[in-house]
Amino acid sequence: MKIPFLPQRRTVLNRFVQYSLLGLFTLSTPLTGSLLQTSQAQTKSGFSSKVINLAYQTSGDIVKVKKVVEPRFKELGVTVNWVGPFPAGPQLIEAMNAGKVDIGTVGETPPIFSQAAGVTEVIYISGRVPSKGLGQGIIVRANSPIRKLADIKGKKVAFQRGSNAHYLLAKALTEVGLKISDIQVVGLTPSEARDAFIQNKVEVWVGGDPFLALVEKTIPIRNLRNASGINTLGGFYLGRKEFITKNSELVRVFLEEADKVGEWADKNPKEVAQAFAPELKIDVDVLEKVSRRTTRRLRRLTPAIIAEQQKVADFYFEEKIIPRKINVKDATPSPQLTEAITPKRLK
């Protein structure tokens, strides 16, 4: 199976991640201000934008595929503009920080790396219900001499820096007494990392669905460690700070519809697979497997969830993967704004 192998596009955020891993990057400008202090304009219900720019990744987005937000926004006189696909969370956040995206969803790691890099225009707006972690893994070929996780010491490992794959790998390595510095990091986008693994350019791949499910069907593999017990937060919806503070009603409508379709998707995996197949160009049986091990419902952004995210950030700092300690609360809206944008249906 020959799949084109493309070099990774070097973005500002990717360069930050690379330099922080090498210990060559120092950040001299601290985050300015706190999002905990908001004005009356920030908490006032309403909206000022006639266009909402929504991001999606190459792995697909059920909100986009089912077109659930377009009717609601049309009633409000607002046009939906889908921006993407982005290969992974770091690239999505970079676009959001540049003002090209208003709302998007990522795993727990990308916002930590962006905040550590000095990004101040991106805030958390809701959590996502975590899955069991079966759709991610640290993968080798079935005939590989690498039999256990500790055996990857010194090996080439391909993954997207600053993504959930990064966190899975870093945490799993600590379980066997290793660090990121004990392996050869090959930083690629998720699809590029998959291609490098299939083409035997790297011995180990850290990735997730739908790419993982597709590879499972294509070649015999061994999953050395899935994300069970590691990637437990489920990820987040993020928003561009200026847009969120000026358009609380639009944000609430979006999150409400995203949660509704997420609830439907969790109960109808086969129908979800059929909906995704034309866009992702992946067989329905593979996508149904992906859907059965994916959760798409949202959850309210609570202090407890932010505290758990802080633990992830502290881990990255302690392992010297990010250059400085961050306060996750600095990238959260005030309690008043959180209340204004959060649908009542979110638990």
- pLDDT tens sequence across 237-246: 999 999 999 9
In this structure, are 220 and 268 located in the same domain? no
Write down the pLDDT at residue 5: 33
Pairing verdict, β 298-299 and 122-128: antiparallel
**Last residue of some domain: 226, 242, 261?**
226
- pLDDT tens sequence across 5-53: 333 344 444 444 443 333 323 333 333 333 333 333 333 345 677 999 9
In this structure, are 194 and 67 located in the same domain? no
- Residue 261 CA to residue 104 CA, distance in Å, equals 15
**Position 27 in a domain:** no
Q: Report yes or no: 165 and 137 within 8 Å, Cβ to Cβ.
A: no
Q: Which domain holds residue 262?
A: 51-130+233-341
In this structure, are 247 and 332 located in the same domain? yes
Q: Which two tokens stand for residue 59?
A: 């792995």
In this structure, are 141 and 166 located in the same domain? yes
- pLDDT greater than 90 at residue 2: no
Write down the pLDDT at residue 25: 30
**Position 42 in a domain:** no
In this structure, are 326 and 263 located in the same domain? yes
Average pLDDT of every residue of the chain:
87
- pLDDT greater than 60 at residue 146: yes
- pLDDT tens sequence across 200-212: 999 999 999 999 9
In this structure, are 269 and 296 located in the same domain? yes
Of the pLDDT bands very low, low, confident and very high (cuts 50, 70, 90), residue 149 is very high
In this structure, are 240 and 256 located in the same domain? yes
In this structure, are 192 and 265 located in the same domain? no
Number of domains in the chain: 2
**Last residue of some domain: 208, 226, 244?**
226
Q: What's the CA angle centered on 166, arms 293 and 281, to 5 degrees?
A: 45
Write down the pLDDT at residue 38: 33
**Position 11 in a domain:** no
| pTM of the entire predicted model | 0.83
In this structure, are 282 and 312 located in the same domain? yes
Of 201-210, 212-221, 230-239, the range with the lowest mean pLDDT is 230-239
- pLDDT tens sequence across 168-190: 999 999 999 999 999 999 999 99
End-to-end alpha carbon distance in the chain? 45
- pLDDT greater than 50 at residue 126: yes
In this structure, are 146 and 205 located in the same domain? yes
Beta-carbon contacts of 249 under 8 Å, excluding residues fewer than 6 positions away, are 45, 46, 47, 76, 340
In this structure, are 279 and 241 located in the same domain? yes
What is the CATH number for 142? Answer: 3.40.190.10
**Position 34 in a domain:** no
- pLDDT tens sequence across 243-257: 999 999 999 999 999
Write down the pLDDT at residue 47: 63
- Supply φ then ψ for residue 20, to 5 degrees: -65, -35
**Position 6 in a domain:** no
Write down the pLDDT at residue 30: 32
4 alpha-carbon distance from chain centroid: 24
- pLDDT tens sequence across 268-290: 999 999 999 999 999 999 999 99
- Residue 41 CA to residue 336 CA, distance in Å, equals 11
Write down the pLDDT at residue 49: 73
**Last residue of some domain: 209, 226, 243?**
226
**Position 12 in a domain:** no
**Position 99 in a domain:** yes
In this structure, are 92 and 126 located in the same domain? yes
- pLDDT tens sequence across 70-104: 999 999 999 999 999 999 999 999 999 999 999 99
**Position 119 in a domain:** yes
